[in-house]
Amino acid sequence: MSRQQQINGSFLFATNNVGGMQLGDLQNETINETKWNTLKFPENCKIIKKAVCGAEFVVICNEKNEIYYFGNFGTSDHFWNQIIIENNLKNNLKNLYANYSNLIIQLNNDNITIFKNDETSQTLNFENCGIKFIFTGPLSKQFIIVDDKNKIYEASDSLKEIDTSEIDNYNSNTIKCIGCASQAYLLVTSENKIYGYGSSTFGELGNLQPNLDKFQYMSTPFEKESEIIDVKGGYYHFVVLLKSGIVYAIGYNSLGAANVYNQNNVTQFTKLTHPLFENEFINRIYCSSRGTVLITNSNNAYFIGEVVYALTGYECEDNNDRINNSMIDNGIESYKVNGNTIQKVKLSDEYNDVLAGGWHYIIYNNSNLNKSKSLQYFENKLSNLIKEQYYNDISITLF
């Protein structure tokens, strides 16, 4: 599990408290829903190996594989609570993921333990076939598993294999990434094609007919334009990042997450752009419920739609009027565009990346971003070699 160090033992945290997120007490200070808050870790969690977000909770894992949650998970909504796991899980923990209401623990033998919001747990056994990828999202009701035989499963209380017969030239190197929304998924192949699966509630699968059995091809305007680097899903929208730094979006748009110029749902992939960031190179994307985050090479983070709408949306007048608050280098700039809100945050060495939950954002220090390009290249090549050659008895631990 790659390490994501929190240099000063804290997050910057924002929530609009929609959807019943009960955050309790923040070091004897109530969380302010109109600004970014500093969220300190437990005393024994100064260095964090992994942090993940579900719809209404945050989970962190320290160097001893001790796991703590904050938010609406389990029966307590107080500050930090520890999830007590058995020693065999703690000693064999390989990675953490989260979806809408579950914490997903992948073990070294590729078995999966799911901790649910009602404090029950469940095990999925992949020991005999191995896991190549796990894909999920903070609003996804299920999650996706790709095993070493390249079978794709939709996982929740049980496993359902998804038909891949319509994916062109389907082979072991086909899947690049899968974006997960509430009940819909977009699969990106090495041929730069996108395939959709699931149910489309607000046009997030374009013109595809709902299909709960197989992935179907989706025509896109960028298939031959530039390589697809990543895809992320919110509740009912998707955002796609191209190697060129251009972003496309589709789906639910009540707060501008897919198109900042109106609130109409977007049923065809459309460029997500605005003069604020159109001349910047976007290198990372994230999604909350009805929000989108774009991070650029200039270390600017643009938060669009939900969460920041609650933070500043009521204070901004339209026509791109600007307000400033003091935080993180040059502060925060907030804009209103046709009723939608964009907040620009200047990231720093101390807080350099973003985690997106359902109705909250976290700005934190991701030490992986500080690695040299040559080290990142070596790690990626080694990881890919292990996956391609099915060396299931090898794992990589990065320090």
Q: How far is CA 110 from CA 65, 80, 130, 188, in A?
A: 17, 28, 6, 24
Residue 17 has pLDDT above 80, yes or no: no
Percent of the chain beyond pLDDT 90? Answer: 49
- Mean pLDDT throughout 170-194? 92
Confidence of residue 313 (pLDDT cuts 50, 70, 90): very low
| Among candidate residues 124, 100, 50, the one with its CA nearest the CA of residue 364 | 50
As a whole number of angstroms, the distance between CA 229 and CA 4 comes to 21
For the beta carbon of residue 280, count every other beta carbon within 10 angstroms. 15
In this structure, of 62-66, 138-142, 219-223, the range with the lowest mean pLDDT score is: 62-66
CB–CB of 312/335 below 8 Å?
no
- Name which of 114-128, 172-186, 368-382 the model is least confident about: 368-382
pLDDT for residue 395: 47
Cα–Cα distance between 242 and 229 in angstroms, integer? 5
Can you read off the two tokens belonging to residue 202?
């607000």
Most confidently predicted of 156-170, 231-245, 295-309, 313-327: 231-245
**In whole angstroms, what is the distance from residue 62 CA to residue 47 CA?**
6
DSSP single-letter state for residue 311: I
DSSP 76: B
Q: What is the pTM of this model?
A: 0.85
Q: What is the mean pLDDT of residues 229-239?
A: 97
**Higher pLDDT, residue 335 or 323:** 335
Q: Percentage helix, strand, coil, to 5, in the chain?
A: 10, 40, 50
For the ranges 22-36, 212-226, 338-352, the one whose mean pLDDT is highest: 212-226
Phi-psi region of 187 (alpha: psi -120 to 50; beta: other; left: phi over 0): beta
Give the residue from 316, 345, 326, 310 showing the smallest Cα distance to 15. Answer: 310
Give just the sign of the alpha carbon dihedral 200, 294, 144, 132. positive
Instruction: Give residue 376's pLDDT band: very low, low, confident or very high (50, 70, 90).
Output: low
Q: What is the spatial order of strands in the sheet that 159-161 belongs to? A: 131-135, 143-147, 152-155, 159-161
Nearest-angstrom CA–CA distance, 231 and 143: 15
d(CA 306, CA 254): 9
Instruction: Give the pLDDT mean for 122-145.
Output: 92
CA atoms of 66 and 49, how far apart (whole Å): 10
Name the band, by pLDDT with cuts 50, 70 and 90, for residue 29.
very low
On average, the pLDDT of the chain sits at 82
18 versus 183: the higher-pLDDT residue is: 183
Give the CA-trace dihedral at 88, 47, 372, 272, to 10 degrees.
90
| C-beta of residue 219 within 8 angstroms of C-beta of residue 169 | no
pLDDT at 300 over 60: yes
Q: What local confidence, expressed as pLDDT, does residue 210 receive? A: 75
Convert the pLDDT of each residue in 341-354 to its tens digit.
Answer: 888 888 988 888 99
Residue 7: closest CA among 363, 327, 351: 351
Give the chain's end-to-end CA distance (angstroms, integer). Answer: 10
Report which of 258, 231, 253 is spatially closest to residue 242, judged by C-alpha positions: 231
Non-local (6+) Cβ contacts of 235 within 8 A are 139, 181, 182, 252, 289, 290, 358
Band (pLDDT 50/70/90 cuts) for residue 324 is very low
The whole-number average pLDDT for the span 129-145 is 95
